[in-house]
Amino acid sequence: MQINQVEFISSFNDVKACPNYDIPEYAFIGRSNVGKSSLINYLTGRKQIARVSNTPGKTQLINYFLVDELWHLVDLPGYGYAQVSKKERAKFDKMIRDFLDKRNQLICTFILLDSRIPLQKIDLEFINWMGENGIPFVLVYTKIDGVRPRLREENVSKIQNALLEHWSELPQQFISSSVQKMGGEEILNFIEQTNESLK
């Protein structure tokens, strides 16, 4: 699938305010500074659809984009180490979990994991919460260009093994790099095939 048109709809701070259109939604989320904005820009073929920053936590609202008038791409705030107060962090956390748990139009969530480092406790906790609440998700290993080629499989395998200590099997997984343009076609094809299965 190739994306031809992307329209920014709006940003929201409450799931109740999100668009009430009956079209599929695909959300993207990950620990702050995991490369989410770069991946979204890569997938859409646009340079500034999502803001890229070296400062974690720049996305602080639920951002909606209409893709080819067929589905919504939802850019969610990163969880974890955003440079905000504990009170603000708790507010973001509630907003994110309310969205994921209550949004009927949400078909699948792409959870991004940094392929350069071991699985983080906060990632595991979030993934386990998704499973406990029966919310469909897939995994995307980001920044694979930051790992030497011979270590890529080893790094991903270590993350998978850490997850398998808590899961009997893992969901579908993708390896990506916005720098080397890897994984985008596979992710978009997954969305296209999922949309087709909903008809």
pLDDT at 29 over 80: yes
Read off the pLDDT of residues 155-175 as tens digits, 9 standing for 90 and up: 999 999 999 999 999 999 999
Domain assignment present for residue 1? The answer is no
Judge whether 172 lies within some domain. Answer: yes
What pLDDT digit, counting tens, does each position of 73-100 carry?
Answer: 999 988 875 566 778 778 888 999 999 9
Residue 111, in any domain of the structure: yes
Instruction: Look up residue 34 and give its two tokens.
Output: 């995991």
**Residue 98 is assigned to a structural domain of this protein:** yes
For residue 114, is it within any domain? yes
- Positive or negative CA dihedral for 26, 27, 30, 33? positive
The Cα angle at residue 118 between residues 38 and 58, in degrees rounded to 5: 35
Residue 51 domain boundaries: 6-198
Report the percent of the chain where pLDDT is more than 90: 76
**Residues 95-112: pLDDT tens digits?**
999 999 999 999 999 999
Tell me the CA distances in angstroms from 150 to 40, 155, 173, one per residue in order: 27, 10, 19
What is the rounded distance in angstroms from the CA atom of residue 83 to the CA atom of residue 39?
Answer: 22
Find out whether 105 and 23 touch, Cβ atoms under 8 Å. Answer: yes
Average pLDDT, the chain: 90
Q: Can you read off the two tokens belonging to residue 76?
A: 């969610």
